[in-house]
Amino acid sequence: MAFLLEIGLLDLGANVDAVGLELMDAQAEPVRGDEAAAVWSRVLPAIAGDKTWALDFFSHIERVRDYCDRHGLAYRAVSPRSLVISAPEAEELEALFLRFEPETFGVRAGGPLITGDAAVEGDLARRGVDAYQPVFANYYFCAVCDFSNGSLVLLSNTLKSGAVSRQLQGALDGLEVEVVLPS
């Protein structure tokens, strides 16, 4: 079975540049489970490229912390309600995406991530991914992962649909995924 990964510009209002990625099956339904985790675990590192990147979790923190402890994944507890996992290896990332598919979480790449960004990290605990809106321009990208709905939204002043598509070239080899840009 082949899947479609549709990449397109999203209109999220003034001063917000966004690219949406949707992973769908032949019936235009979101792809979930093992197959989706395999795709997303290749997509995110490919888009980040050589930039430092990390996952931001801000809900169900005890479950995430417990999972990381049991699986030996390093994380940084930002607050009692937020933690950051720096660029897990592909296999770890795939398992993490599968386990937390029903949750919405975020990703940041580049910019102040390298030195830490206490302001946005604290705000994530209070506002969730809405914390990215005023600061995304400081990063290569900030992303909202809603994998249970087959969606990844990139907030970036740098990345456009075509650039994202080019960065995915080769990343999905061996998977039955067709990358498409809407006409």
Q: Which of 47, 59, 50 is nearest to 141 (CA)?
A: 47
pLDDT tens-place string over residues 65-121 = 999 999 999 999 888 888 999 999 999 999 999 999 999 999 999 988 877 788 888
Q: How confident is the model at residue 15 (pLDDT cuts 50, 70, 90)?
A: confident
Q: What is the DSSP string of 8-70?
A: EEEE-STT-EEEEEEEE-TTSPBP-HHHHHHHHHHHHHHHHTTS-EEEEE-SSHHHHHHHHHH
Sign of CA dihedral 25, 109, 98, 80: negative
Q: For residue 16, give its domain range.
A: 3-169
**Residue 10 belongs to a domain:** yes
pTM check: above 0.85: yes
**Residue 62 belongs to a domain:** yes
**Residue 177 belongs to a domain:** no
pLDDT tens-place string over residues 114-151 = 777 888 888 888 898 899 989 999 999 999 999 999 99
**What is the per-residue pLDDT for 1?**
53
- Give the number of domains in the chain: 1
**Residue 179 belongs to a domain:** no
Share of the chain above pLDDT 70, in %: 99
